[in-house]
Every structure is written in structure tokens, then in C-alpha cells.
């Protein structure tokens, strides 16, 4: 009987070990992944994205209502999301509340600043400014290095 | 009797650990006439038969998720130490904007110089490829710049897949997931 049970256990383990299958399930990314503050390289006429963090240092709640940059024809805050039918998409975010001392994270796969129809090439090593527009704090400059 | 059962079960154990993954789809009978980033003609998958293919699906006006997919392809290539028997491919589902020269610029922005094939081409051929690979895409929102230029974005599948040397799809992954490169490398090392 012991041998039979051992055999069944052995086979069960083998199926667990070897049946990862051909399709991987989505894995949630860690919320603690550090943000690499940067803007992606891209060619003139193309699209780039900026990643950084913004912390509300005011004693009161604030709201991010927009973003601008002189290097792109259109600059917006976008959010990457999964559609109901399982596709990946982006949508514009126009009002982002920020509580006192709260940090808003702009990162790959989440909130990010989109720079569309770039006026010039963005090459690694370049430095670029984007400006967040907030209701209370006003215009806040964020200077970023271009890198992959 | 018990020993016989155990002996019979052992081969099952080994069979369950075989190196031949299930075939998800056979693309061997298909042929898509496409262009690479240098505007050279590519018959996909015929021209790549005899090699493993690690393939992602992107559009260059998507700097977020699609850049993660591209970065994952690069990471897989690096972690496999630039293998000669594996081809790395990124195919666009936005052929109107993603011309060969646009794809070339996109590759350059990632530091990709060689060992990668970016695919575009006539819309009919590109979308036939996407149907065959079960990659969905759909124009979502449109934007207009101050000088009147129209921009649009695309909702799309998030996929990297692996084809074996017979152009059969044997693995599919969530293309932008950060864990994907290590899984692909493990899977390829197991079957190569």
C-alpha cells in the first residue's frame, strides 16, 4: 500500500513540476518596484513616455490637472489599462487628486506622461523638462534624462 | 501486484516531463509577404523556418506597454547570449504609420542594431498575420494636435510567442510581463 501511495504522490509531483503549460498567466507587478526617473528615447515625429514621481509637499490636497512640454505637439497624462475583453489600452487622465505628502507614481504599465509628435529626436543623455500643472502648486517643472 | 503498478507508473512520470511542448497552432502552412525595417522582402514564416522564433507584437506610437514587450524581447536575446538558432521578431499591427523607416528608428531608439527583424507591410498581409497569430487590435481614442494633426491609439493583445523550427506556435506569454524573459529563456533552454 505504501508503494502505491508513493507512486501516486510521485506522479502528482511530476505533473505539478512539469505542467507549467504553454501559456503563462498574468503576474501582478510589485507595487514596490522603484521608478526609474527618465524619458524614453524616440525619433522626431514619434512618441515617447516619461516616468517619474511627484510628491505633494503642501499641507493641503491638490490636483494634477494637466502636463505640458515644448518638445512635443501634444503632451498628456495617460493610464495603461486592461480592457474588459483582455486587450491592453491607454486612456487620458485629466484630474489626479494628490493628498498632502502623497506621491503619485508615473511608471511603465501605469500612469505615464505621453509626448506625441516629437519636435526633435530624443537621444540617450539628453535632458528634457515636462511641466505638471496643479490647482494649488501651480506649474511644477520635472527635469528628466533621456534613457532606455 | 503493487510493485507492478508502481513500475507501470514510472514511465508515465517520465512522459509527463517530456521536452516536446504541445503545439498551440501550426503556422507552417501560412505565408505572409512582409517587409523588414530595411524594406527587404520577408516571407513569414517561410524565411525563418529552421530556427526558433521569439515574436512580439507592437506599434511604435505606444511607448508604454509596447516598449515593455520590446524590452522583454531584447532581454531574452541578451540572456540567451545572442543565439544563432533563434530569431527575434517584432511585428507591428499599425502598418500605415509603422513604415520600415519608422521601425528602423524605433529599433535604433532601443539600441537594436542587428539580430532583430521588425515586420510591417501591406495592411492586408499584416492583418492576415495578426489573425493567424490571434493578435487583436482596435483603434481606441483619437486626438488632434493644435496644428490639426490626427493621432490615434490602439487597444491590442499583449503577446510574445515562440515558434519551433517547423513554424509551430509552442508557447504564448503575456508580452509585457516582467517575469516573461526568464520563463522564455527557461522554456527555450529546455527544448533546444
Q: Is the ipTM of this complex over 0.95?
A: no
Fill in the DSSP letter of residue A146. Answer: B
Which residues, numbered 122 to 141 in chain B, qualify as contacts with chain A under a Cβ-Cβ cut-off of 8 Å? 136-138, 140-141
8 A C-beta contact, residue B66 and residue B97: no
Give, for all 192 residues of chain B, the pLDDT tens digit.
Answer: 555 554 554 444 444 455 689 999 999 999 999 999 999 999 999 999 999 999 999 999 998 999 999 999 999 999 999 999 999 999 999 999 999 999 999 999 999 978 899 999 999 999 999 999 999 999 998 888 778 888 899 999 999 999 999 999 999 999 999 999 999 999 999 999
Residue carrying C-alpha cell 511530476 = A14
CB contact under 8 A, B64 and A76: no
The terminus-to-terminus CA distance of chain A in angstroms comes to: 60
Which residues, numbered 123 to 142 in chain A, qualify as contacts with chain B under a Cβ-Cβ cut-off of 8 Å? none
C-alpha cell read off for A28? 501582478
C-alpha cell read off for B81? 547570449
* Other CB atoms within 10 Å distance of the CB of residue A116: 23
Question: Among residues B82, B81, B83, B101, which one has the least CA distance to residue B92?
Answer: B101
* Other CB atoms within 10 Å distance of the CB of residue A50: 24
Q: Does this model's pTM top 0.90?
A: no
What separation in angstroms does the CA of A48 have from each of A40, B53, B64, B91, B152? 6, 28, 8, 19, 14
Amino acid at each position: 500500500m505504501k508503494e502505491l501511495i508513493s507512486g501516486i504522490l510521485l506522479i502528482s509531483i511530476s505533473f505539478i513540476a512539469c505542467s507549467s503549460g504553454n501559456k503563462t498567466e498574468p503576474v501582478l507587478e510589485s507595487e514596490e518596484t522603484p521608478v526609474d526617473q527618465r524619458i524614453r528615447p524616440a525619433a522626431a515625429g514619434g512618441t515617447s513616455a516619461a516616468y517619474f514621481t511627484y510628491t505633494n509637499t503642501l499641507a493641503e490636497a491638490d490636483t494634477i490637472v494637466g502636463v505640458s512640454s515644448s518638445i512635443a505637439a501634444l503632451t498628456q497624462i495617460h493610464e495603461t489599462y486592461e480592457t474588459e475583453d483582455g486587450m491592453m489600452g491607454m486612456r487620458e487622465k485629466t484630474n489626479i487628486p494628490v493628498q498632502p505628502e502623497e506621491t503619485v507614481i508615473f511608471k511603465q504599465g501605469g500612469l505615464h506622461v505621453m509626448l506625441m509628435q516629437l519636435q526633435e529626436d530624443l537621444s540617450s543623455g539628453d535632458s528634457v523638462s515636462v511641466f505638471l500643472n496643479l490647482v494649488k502648486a501651480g506649474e511644477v517643472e520635472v527635469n528628466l534624462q533621456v534613457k532606455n | 501486484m503493487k510493485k507492478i503498478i508502481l513500475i507501470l507508473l514510472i514511465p508515465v512520470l517520465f512522459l509527463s516531463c517530456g521536452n516536446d511542448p504541445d503545439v498551440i497552432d501550426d503556422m507552417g502552412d501560412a505565408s505572409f509577404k512582409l517587409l523588414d525595417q530595411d524594406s527587404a522582402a520577408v516571407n513569414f514564416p517561410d524565411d525563418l523556418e529552421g530556427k526558433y522564433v521569439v515574436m512580439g507584437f507592437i506599434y511604435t506610437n505606444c511607448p508604454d506597454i509596447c516598449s515593455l514587450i520590446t524590452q522583454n524581447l531584447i532581454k531574452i536575446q541578451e540572456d540567451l547570449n545572442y543565439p544563432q538558432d533563434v530569431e527575434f521578431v517584432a511585428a507591428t499591427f499599425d502598418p500605415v504609420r509603422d513604415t520600415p523607416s519608422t521601425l528602423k528608428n524605433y529599433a535604433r531608439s532601443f539600441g537594436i542594431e542587428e539580430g532583430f527583424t521588425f515586420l510591417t507591410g501591406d495592411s492586408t498581409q499584416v492583418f492576415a498575420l495578426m489573425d493567424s497569430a490571434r493578435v487583436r487590435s482596435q483603434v481606441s481614442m483619437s486626438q488632434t494636435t493644435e496644428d490639426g494633426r490626427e493621432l490615434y491609439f490602439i487597444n491590442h493583445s499583449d503577446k510574445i510567442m515562440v515558434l519551433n523550427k517547423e513554424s509551430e506556435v509552442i508557447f504564448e506569454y503575456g508580452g509585457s510581463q516582467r517575469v516573461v524573459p526568464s520563463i522564455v529563456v527557461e522554456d527555450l533552454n529546455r527544448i533546444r
